[in-house]
Structure 1
Amino acid sequence: MNHYDLIVLGAGPAGVSAALMASAQGLRVALFDENAAAGGQVYRAPIMPDAKMDGAEFRAGETLRDALSRSKVHLFLGHVVWAVTGDYRVDALGPDGSIACTTTVLLVATGTTERVVPFEGWTLPGVIGLAAATILLKSQRTLPGKTTLVAGCGPLLVAVAGNTLKAGGDVKAIVDIASRSEWLGTASALLSRPAIFKQSLTYGLPILRARTPLYSRHTLVKVSAQGDQLLAEIAPCDAAARPVAGKTKKILVDCVAVGHGLTPSSDITRLLHARHQYSREAGGWIAETDENGQTSRERLFVAGDGAGIRGAAAAMEQGKRVGLACVAIIQGKTVPEPEAENLSKAWQHAARFGQKMAAMMALREGHVDSIPPHTVVCRCEDVTRAEIEQACEAGAHDVNQLKAWTRCGMGPCQGRTCGDIAAELLATKLGVSREAVGIFSPRTPLRPLTISDMTGDYDYADIPIPKAAPL
């Protein structure tokens, strides 16, 4: 079994930056990611290596991938990490089968999961997440649909709409929960980041040129099938995202791309029993860390959006800072003060804009109020809002009781899709805080696996049969 000084889980900007920093300082480093190429969601590589792409995000991703290829980092790309134990053993499944490694220090940089607040028709074919639309456009170079409605909240609205138009698609409308004044409140933070401001123009200008309708302070309330297309119904909403009385509008499209922000991926840090806290502004439950990114568990670090949503630019700077701390703890030294201070300042500068965007994507406290009773919340187990509230009335007062009584969160995604919404519904029904209802307990395997994947060519005839014991 291979042993490393540092294992980094997640090859997004935070994980790659940390791995490169630690490797350059002489550490033996392994980097795991389930994708075939490094870069994460923002700096995602095209699936076709010879695809011609442009843009600042693609170039930044290529720079990271090039630096990795020239480094001594041991890359385990295309590997699904399915178990992490308390002694920092990492089990993963890759193209050549199962592998296991151990490490002195573990850094979790696993990013986020997209949140979609359920509405009537959200499970229909053709309704996809904004993150899924981003993957189609960036990696697959495929339009989500010939005609698309983009709905939800946060910066991905503009990115998906702009990239769809640039790729030759038709965006029928952008439906934004936020108001224009909320976006104006982010202007100073945006102007302080010239590179991000320039990038935002590449998204915004196609939208302006196409004169795409923008429905501010509106929400998507229903999608229904209309032959081979989808009929989306939108309505005005208040600041808490509750639909209000007013004129509704129906829009016929091929695809509805919708997303209501991101939630930090904390399943590994929760599995290892690090202390966590709930922060609506940071996206949800995040591990408590010190200034170096170390959790309450010794030698367990967190970096990037999994430590609180701040964006790709901030994640990269934080990754360098945490990587430096990992080097210090392994070499038995203190973190060099001048370098640490410079990296911290760079992170704080980048994070200022990221915090504004995180606030735009935060789950609004009235948003779940509009979920119809019959609407499925847990797609894996077909658990509806009504069933969740019935369990609450019967005495399920935390999410793990809810899980046991309804199977909500027991499916292949292990609550990554439904957990945030189920907990919000439970807290709202009980009139308590999100901390009071808790979070689903993670379980191994962390990702769904098949028995055949684990056993490979192992056959019944290969089972060793002990000789019969003498009487």
Structure 2
Amino acid sequence: MAEFDVVVLGGGPAGVHAALAAASAGLNVALFDENASAGGQVYRAPLEGMRAASNADQQAGDVLRRELTASTVTTFFAHSVWAVTGDYRIDATGPNGPVHCTARALIVASGTTERVVPFEGWTTPGVIGLAAATILLKSQGVLPGRSTLVAGCGPLLAAVAAKTLEGGGKVEAIADLAGTADWARTLPAMLARPGLLRQGVDWWRTINRARTPRYGRHTIIRVEPADERLRATLAPCDAAGRPISGQRTTVLADCIAVGHGLTPATEITRLLRAKHRYSRAAGGWIAVADQDGRTSRPLLYVAGDGAGIAGAAAAATHGALAGLACALDLGAANPVRLTRGIGPARSAHRHAARFGHAMANLIALRPGHVESITPETIVCRCEDVTRAEIEAACDAGARDINQLKAWTRCGMGPCQGRTCGDVAGELLMRRMGTASRETVGSFSARTPLRPVTVEALTGNFTYDEIPIPKAAPL
């Protein structure tokens, strides 16, 4: 079993910069990621053999991958981590079978999960997440559909719409939960990041040239099949995301790409029993940590959006901070140099996070949006649990989300509550009449963290290869 000073879980900008910082301090570092190469969601690499588009994200991703390749970091790409124990043993499966290693310290940079607030028909084939649409466009060069309705909130709306148009597809409309005033409030933060502002302006130029209709302060209330296409019904909504009276708009499309923000991926830090708190502005449940990523558990660090939504640029600087802090705590060589690097890294992170926090406010869960879920709408799509069933369990006495899980199976499916947990917790909180999400808690994390087959753990063998112990003496 391999032994490392530090294991980093996650190969996005936070994880890579954490690994580089720790390795530059002389530590023996390993990095695990499910994808075939580094970059995460924003800097995702195209599939092997595909020509990469020349844009700012692709260039930044290429630089990130070159720096990692040139470093001393041991990488395990295309590896799925399915177990992490309290002594920081990592169990993963990869192309060549199971991998096991141990570490003195662990940095969790596991990123986020996309949130979709359920609506009638959201499980219909052809309805996908904005993040899924981004993967298709960036990594595989595939359009989500010949024609697409883009809906939800946040900067991914413009990104997906513009890239779909650039790829030769048609965007039937953009339905944005936010209004013009909501976007105007983010302008000071955007002006502080002129590069990102220019990127956004370029996206909107592409959208405007295509004369794509935009419906501000609108939400999807229904999707239904219409011959070989999908029919989406849009309704105006208030600032809380609650549908209000007004003209309903019908849009026909081959694909509906929808996303209502991001939630930090905390299953590993929850599994290791680090302290957590709920922050609506940060995206949901986050590990309690200091500004350098130290959690309540010794030598366990959290970096990037998994510590609270702040964007890719802030994730990179936060990863570097966590790597430096980890190196200091492990007693790496030249502590004076490491300490000198902490101050500038903190300053860079604060500057980068300002824009990210403004975007996080745009994509935060809106209470009125959850209120609008109809009783018969499925909330947990893995186990087909509806809002009515969640509220019936609450009325029968379920007083925290794990009790709800036991009574309804909500959160017991393959995603282990990553998709439904935020909305289910909000519904339970509202039904109980409490004002705090911390009252209802979060789903307990369990191993396996990802679905894993027995074959992946055992490998290929014949029965003749199974060692048979000698019979015990009588």
Identify whether the pair has TM-score above 0.5, normalized to the shorter chain.
Answer: yes
Quickly say closer, same or farther: Cα 1:367–1:464, change in 2 above 3 A: same
Q: d(CA) in 1 for partners of 2:6 and 2:343?
A: 23
How many residue pairs get aligned? The number is 471
Amino acid at match of 2:176: D
Amino acid at match of 1:466: P
Amino acid at match of 2:351: H
Give CA-to-partner distance per residue, 1:13-62, whole Å, 9 cap, x none: 01001111111221111010000010000000001344131110000000
Amino acid at match of 2:458: T
Q: d(CA) in 2 for partners of 1:269 and 1:337?
A: 26
Partner of 2:459: 456
Amino acid at match of 1:423: G
Quick check: 427-436 or 325-334, which moved more? Answer: 325-334
Percentage identity across paired residues of the two chains: 61
Q: Describe how 1:345-356 pairs up with structure 2 within 5 A.
A: 345-356=347-358
Q: d(CA) in 2 for partners of 1:354 and 1:381?
A: 34
Contact 1:235 1:246 survives alignment (8 Å): yes
Contact 1:328 1:335 survives alignment (8 Å): no
Amino acid at match of 2:341: E
Q: d(CA) in 1 for partners of 2:471 and 2:316?
A: 60
Q: Describe how 1:37-436 pairs up with structure 2 within 5 A.
A: 37-331=37-331, 333=335, 336-432=338-434, 433-436=436-439
Q: How many angstroms does 1:215 deviate by?
A: 0.6
Quickly say closer, same or farther: Cα 1:451–1:218, change in 2 above 3 A: same
> Does residue 438 in structure 1 map to residue 441 in structure 2?
yes
Q: d(CA) in 2 for partners of 1:161 and 1:276?
A: 35
SS at match of 2:268: helix
Unaligned runs of 5+ in 2: none
Amino acid at match of 2:303: A
Q: How many angstroms does 1:467 deviate by?
A: 3.4
Contact 1:288 1:295 survives alignment (8 Å): yes
Q: How many angstroms does 1:334 deviate by?
A: 6.8
Quick check: 455-464 or 360-369, which moved more? Answer: 455-464
Q: How many angstroms does 1:335 deviate by?
A: 7.5
Amino acid at match of 1:319: G
SS at match of 2:173: strand
Quick check: 264-273 or 337-346, which moved more? Answer: 337-346
Amino acid at match of 1:162: A
Contact 1:324 1:335 survives alignment (8 Å): no
Amino acid at match of 2:52: K
Give CA-to-partner distance per residue, 1:302-359, whole Å, 9 cap, x none: 0000000000000111111111111111126478443211111111001000000000
SS at match of 1:331: coil
SS at match of 1:144: coil
Give CA-to-partner distance per residue, 1:128-172, whole Å, 9 cap, x none: 000000000000101101111000111111111111111111111
Quick check: 450-459 or 287-296, which moved more? Answer: 450-459
Quick check: 453-462 or 227-236, which moved more? Answer: 453-462
Contact 2:242 2:369 survives alignment (8 Å): yes
Unaligned runs of 5+ in 1: none
Quickly say closer, same or farther: Cα 1:157–1:424, change in 2 above 3 A: same
TM-score of the two chains, using structure 1 as the length reference: 0.98
Amino acid at match of 2:269: T
Quick check: 459-468 or 306-315, which moved more? Answer: 459-468
Contact 1:150 1:157 survives alignment (8 Å): yes
Contact 1:218 1:235 survives alignment (8 Å): yes
Q: d(CA) in 2 for partners of 1:18 and 1:469?
A: 52
Contact 2:52 2:58 survives alignment (8 Å): no
Q: d(CA) in 2 for partners of 1:444 and 1:171?
A: 41
Partner of 1:466: 469
TM-score of the two chains, using structure 2 as the length reference: 0.97
Q: How many angstroms does 1:247 deviate by?
A: 0.6
Contact 2:151 2:259 survives alignment (8 Å): yes
Over the residues paired in the alignment, what is the CA RMSD in angstroms? Answer: 1.2
Contact 1:136 1:143 survives alignment (8 Å): yes
Q: d(CA) in 1 for partners of 2:413 and 2:214?
A: 36
SS at match of 1:92: strand
Q: d(CA) in 1 for partners of 2:323 and 2:347?
A: 16
Q: d(CA) in 1 for partners of 2:459 and 2:270?
A: 30
Contact 1:266 1:285 survives alignment (8 Å): yes
